[in-house]
Amino acid sequence: MSRAFLTGNHAAGYALVAAGEANRGARGCCGGVYPITPQTEIIEYLSAARFSRGAIVPVESEHSAMAVCMGASLNGGRSFTASSANGLLYMVENVFAAGYYRLPIVTVVSNRTIGPPWNLWVDQGDSLALRDAPCLQFYCESHQDLVDTILVAFRVGEDARILLPALVAQDGFLLSHTQMVLDLPEQELVDRYLPPLDLAHRLNQAHPRTYGGMTWPRDTEKQREEIQDAMDLVPTVLEEALNEFASVFGRRPDGAFSAELTTDADTVLVANSTMVRTAREVVKSRRAAGERVGLVKAKLFRPFLRDQFEKAIGAARRVAVLDRNHSPGSGGIFWTEIATSLRTRSDVLLQDYVVGLGGIDVTPAVIEGILDDVQRRDGSVAPLFIPEAAL
């Protein structure tokens, strides 16, 4: 295990290269890439890599970047790319297509605000716009979490029971451009962790298939059901992947939800990405002051494991959701999922807080304000924007 001091983007680049390299004994790897702030250093890292059997193709758009990935994956290669904000939105059609072709392509997203107006800072509206895509979604809190989760995403996505693409998200700038010390998984261990990709439905002259041709409604419905079936198996496959990760690398990445200090907690904060780290400090200090507060880290957004979420909050009666995203006319997007998960729990006061939009800092003071607000409220109201919530 080697210690390193890297930016989130370079850490992500390292993990993608290691994953691609791990398929050198099979059909190799290939990714289409296109720059956009704040992920650009990832694709620069990929472009500078020397693969034993791999190719990086700098294309003319994100739409084509994913199309190159699809072609590579259909031909049996391990495939990956990275994007952000409007670039990811430009890619959307082909992310859906990758899922419907059942191709396990991993896309690292350095989250950024969708424009116009143009804003480079973090906001999760970009990857969450892919809420309804046939695609896994992970949100990472640290450089270590990011590197580990990228490897886990390949392992889960390529599993024959799953065969779906994955987005692995990090907060733009907050992770992508800051440096942290982390353990870099060595190639030899990555080789052990990621078996050679064996895509049973890859292009094959001996079995000439038509991929993505016309279907009638019933067959389409069946295809969608199969994707749901695959999503339903993610908890099982993810658990196996995390256990295997622990046995190979000696540490266990977080799963779908991590409950921290939730035993006997009355109030639980739900956060994802870097907000987890700030919320953790606030929760610890409140605990030290004798308050029964806890934290749930929400890492896996798709599939959204409702049962696991309900378990994670334990006996808490007040749940505050931090959403660094906003669906106009609805509210926070994690909150929407959580409200569905708790639909039978009339005993729980669930309040959504839309925070940090467009890259506003979510400071300890902001989270303190949210905890104060949720603890004193008589009932929940429509999602609160932070200026209101911080009162």
Partner 1 sequence: MNTGAPAHTHRPRGEALWRPGNGACVGCGMSLGLQWLDQALDEVRPYMIVPASCAVVTPGSHPNTAFGVPMVASTFASSAAVATGVSRIAKLNGETDPIVCWAGDGGTYDIGMATLSAAAERNEDVIYFCYDNEIYGNTGGQRSSATLPGAKTTTTPIGKREPKKDIMAIMAAHRVPYAATLSLGHRDDFMRKMQTALRIAGFRFLVMLSPCPAGWKSDPAEGIDLARAAVDSGLFPLYEVFDGMRYRINARPDGTPLTDYTSRQGRFKSKSLDVKAMEAAITEQWAYLEGMEQVFPAAGTDAPID
H or E stretch including 360?
A: none
The DSSP result for 142-164, as a single string, is SHHHHHHHHHHHHHHHTSTTT--
By CB under 8 A, tell whether 201 contacts partner 1: yes
Q: Between 71 and 90, how does the x/- string for binding to partner 1 read (CB under 8 A)?
A: xxxxxxx-x-----------
| CA–CA distance, 216 with 237 (Å, rounded to integer) | 31
User: Closest approach of Cβ 204 to partner 1, in Å?
Assistant: 7
Q: Give the interface segment with partner 1, choosing from 174-182, 183-191, 206-214, 350-358 (CB under 8 A).
A: 206-214
Binding residues for partner 1 restricted to 9-68, rule: CB under 8 A: 27-28, 30, 32, 53-55, 57, 59-61, 63-65, 67-68
Backbone torsion region of residue 85, taken as left when φ is above 0, otherwise alpha when ψ lies between -120 and 50, otherwise beta: left
In terms of Cβ atoms closer than 10 Å to its own Cβ (0-12, 13-18, 19+), residue 26 is middle
Omega before 117 within 30 of 0, i.e. cis? yes
In terms of Cβ atoms closer than 10 Å to its own Cβ (0-12, 13-18, 19+), residue 233 is middle
Nearer to partner 1, 54 or 125 (CB): 54
Q: Within 13 A of 73's CA, how many CA atoms are on the CB side? A: 31
Nearer to partner 1, 89 or 147 (CB): 89
Q: Is 235:109 a contact under the CB 8 Å cutoff?
A: no
Among 102, 143, 286, 326, binds partner 1 (CB under 8 A): 102
By CB under 8 A, tell whether 165 contacts partner 1: no
Q: Give the interface segment with partner 1, choosing from 1-9, 93-101, 258-266, 280-288 (CB under 8 A).
A: 93-101
By CB under 8 A, tell whether 206 contacts partner 1: yes
Nearer to partner 1, 188 or 229 (CB): 229
User: Closest approach of Cβ 134 to partner 1, in Å?
Assistant: 11
Among 186, 188, 198, 219, binds partner 1 (CB under 8 A): 219
- Residues in the interface with partner 1 (CB under 8 A) total 58
Q: Is 96:66 a contact under the CB 8 Å cutoff?
A: no
| CA–CA distance, 84 with 109 (Å, rounded to integer) | 5
For 36, 70, 225, the CA distances from 232, given in Å and listed in that order, are 33, 24, 10
User: Closest approach of Cβ 24 to partner 1, in Å?
Assistant: 9
Residues interacting with partner 1, by CB under 8 A?
A: 27-28, 30, 32, 53-55, 57, 59-61, 63-65, 67-77, 79, 93-94, 97, 100-102, 160-161, 163, 201, 203-216, 219-220, 222-223, 226, 229-230, 233
